[in-house]
Amino acid sequence: MSRVHWTNISDAGPGTPDPGRRTLNSSPGGFTLLEVMVALAILGIGIVTVLELFAGGLRLGVKASRYTQAAIYAQNVMNRLFVQTALDDGEENGELPGGYVWRARVQEIHPDDNRSRLQPNRQNQTDLFHLKDLEVRVSWSENRGEQSLVLHSLRMLTEQPTQ
């Protein structure tokens, strides 16, 4: 705030043209209207930036929560596949709470018989074991389309040799 101080020129010292005239002196400690307006504009920009950062953090938190829930669901489906004693090739699917959909695919992997050294004396080297490729996909809808999380794993099933 500006301060106004009235002084008598005659008290100011020699060399003044009109000794009876009073002048207006402003104090150097105040702010002008322009300075206050610039300060308020900077403050407003800062507040808007902080609010946008807060909203962005909330959006990222919701997105992370959805991915975490999808990972939990996918792990549960994968665990269900691991406890089965026999896995047939094929696909299964289903729905989960919260708008999630899962799909599991099981496919046997056949090793290259020419390069395999696992059972060199057997005519068919994959008679005693079966390597299965497991894929679990959990999908859900978001505002930008469909999102999905995919888990891959391998499982080896063994057969007991007949004698």
pLDDT of residue 118: 54
Q: Higher confidence at residue 6 or residue 62?
A: 62
Find out whether 126 and 111 touch, Cβ atoms under 8 Å. yes
Q: Give the total residue count for the chain.
A: 163
Quick check: 17 pLDDT over 90? Answer: no
DSSP assignment of 100-134 equals: EEEEEEEEEEPP-TTT--SSTTSSSTTSSEEEEEE
Question: Distance (Å, rounded) from C-alpha 102 to C-alpha 93?
Answer: 5
Tell me the percentage of the chain whose pLDDT exceeds 90.
Answer: 47
* pLDDT class of 97 with cuts at 50, 70, 90: very high
Find out whether 151 and 75 touch, Cβ atoms under 8 Å. yes
* pLDDT class of 2 with cuts at 50, 70, 90: low
pLDDT of residue 153: 92
Q: Is 92 exposed, middle or buried (0-12, 13-18, 19+ CB in 10 A)?
A: middle
Q: What is the pLDDT of residues 30-52, one digit of tens each?
A: 889 999 999 999 999 999 999 99
